[in-house]
Structure 1
């Protein structure tokens, strides 16, 4: 009998194979980047949206490791995110898999305060910090193909910084505004991932391919402001591939390799449409130095340039990675 978490992961895989039945959401008028929300609406809806945004940081993902979305009205970043993470298997004799990510993001929503007659814009800055850890086990299908189930846990915190005159706070001192003025939202998450990892290494080239389905449930807890209790689900299907081959140049007593990389991420559940898109694609090119000839912990160092695009979203990012 399938456990509920594994069943949901299989549903994600089926949804990707049959897109018309995936039920992907589109951006709603009250979604975080859709514009302005009134203070007299339920801030909990916005808390759910913030947790949905946090869901983009819960999985090691090339497409969202460095992401910035501009606010069309002001030209300023309405959302920005940076993620650092990775994973590794201890060894073939003891194939325990460990992974972890640390992510920071900033979201700048604009609310509208009104007393029924006058209206005033309320700019807010929400800063998010989160970390996700995972532990899994490699089940080897062939010498080059591994099936890897992973258990994931997440912890995060959102702090709200209200840039507004104190007089307005005094006139509208309700629980909604109290959350916006130096409020906080603490969140935890739990769930799992299922990954297929293919590694085809030869002397003249190396191929890596990963297919991953992830389902993590996020919920506020603890000292979270009363007006901002919320929950969300992070559901994602991603495909990542990398080709490495020698350039003909040498450095550090080893060949210098060129690297070609591509990645695709499809978002489901609360993650779909919350930033205006349901999927992202990344194309990357870079160079890799091999330092394994020397007795150092870092065996390879890569510098990458990536072009990321999706529905109404595109940009260029610089990446830096190391292998141990």
Structure 2
């Protein structure tokens, strides 16, 4: 898990919530400006794929509106995966994600324009089941079946304030307690290399993964419809080794070096203004395996992130069980 911060000059983020206005075809009073209903309905679903597909680079992400400086998107994802055992090589993974949307859009009656702020939250659950096929010593091919479920809903307190301020805008009342539910099915294939040197205490982890997810809205306010076919290709590498002779809790105190790269394809391409994200990170790992506790290792890693039109940082905390 972690926190992150990004700046980006993207075009669509402010308007993704407009998808919820598909049925609000105003005939007078204030109307939303420059809205393509179908495109925006699909964009909000495509945006959820960043939470529905496991990805280190986008697991902690905040994007700012370059024009206003106000946060438009903030995402945090908690999750992990493991193989049950060498004799039963079933692979299980899961994640829970939270997103905060803070867009502003423009309404006009032809003579006057108003900036209308909204606050929306999103929760997403993702799971996967796979099987490890060993192809060589320390190398496995891992096909995975994935599924996800998510919901986006309005902040009712702030929504009520917006409604109070803009009562003269037609069909604005549905924003109070508005929601959209989204379900998804997909799959992934992973090439994984795991090498553990118990003598020197060194570990190497390498994962190359391709993921596909089809997301489809399943209902919500005013029967809004939207879908997304999203793809992500990523690579992840981590090196862990003892930091000299230092020991803590009876075990070597280790340093961690890692890097990752993710390329976004399909309908989520460019939704946040970038097509790829890369990270480089360094940190430390504490080994508590000598004690009778569930957590055997705890890692704290700081990361620098970059992509087209994007730079930033994050701090991640991970545990092994």
* TM > 0.5: yes
Aligned with residue 201 of structure 1, among 175, 178, 196: 196
The equivalent of 2:289 in structure 1 is 292
> Distance in 2 between the 1:157 and 1:168 partners?
26
In the TM superposition, what whole-angstrom CA distance separates every residue of 1:84-118 from its partner, at most 9, and x where no partner exists?
00000101101011000000011222221122222
Q: CA deviation at 1:73?
A: 2.2
Report if the CA contact (8 A) 2:72-2:101 is conserved. Answer: yes
Match of 1:236?
232
Counterpart mapping for 1:24-173 below 5 A? 29=11, 31-33=12-14, 39=32, 41-161=35-155, 162=159, 163-166=161-164, 168-169=166-167, 171-173=168-170
Match of 1:225 in 2: 221
Query: Closer, same or farther in 2 for the Cα pair 1:166/1:199, shift >3 Å?
Result: same
Q: In the alignment, what sits opposite 2:4?
A: none
Contact 1:149/1:193 (<8 A) preserved: yes
User: 2:13 touches 2:73 (CA, 8 Å); kept in 1?
Assistant: no
What secondary structure is seen at the aligned counterpart in 2 of 1:49?
A: helix
**Gaps in structure 2 of 5+ consecutive residues:** 1-8, 19-30
Is contact 2:212–2:231 with CA below 8 Å preserved after alignment?
yes
CA–CA distance in 2 between the matches of 1:296 and 1:160? 40
User: How many Å apart are 1:226 and its aligned residue?
Assistant: 2.3
SS in 2 for 1:141: strand
The CA distance in 1 between the partners of 2:254 and 2:48, in whole Å, is 35
Cα displacement (A) at 1:200: 1.7
In the superposition, relative to structure 1, how do residues 140 and 35 fare at CA in structure 2: closer, same or farther (>3 Å)? closer
User: What is the TM-score when the length of structure 1 is the normalising length?
Assistant: 0.85
Tell me whether 1:265 sits opposite 2:262 in the alignment: yes
Instruction: Tell me, yes or no, if the aligned pair for 1:43 and 1:228 is still in contact at 8 Å.
Output: no
Out of 291, 295, 304, the position equivalent to 2:301 is 304
| Closer/same/farther in 2, CA of residues 109 and 167 from structure 1, 3 Å limit | closer
Tell me how far apart the structure 1 counterparts of residues 254 and 229 of structure 2 sit (CA, whole Å).
39
Give the Cα–Cα distance (whole angstroms) in 2 for the partners of residues 101 and 35 of structure 1: 23
How far the C-alpha of 1:173 sits from its partner, in A, is 2.7
Q: Secondary structure at the match of 2:68?
A: coil
What SS does the corresponding residue of 2:48 show, helix, strand or coil?
A: helix
Deviates more, 1:145-154 or 1:44-53: 44-53
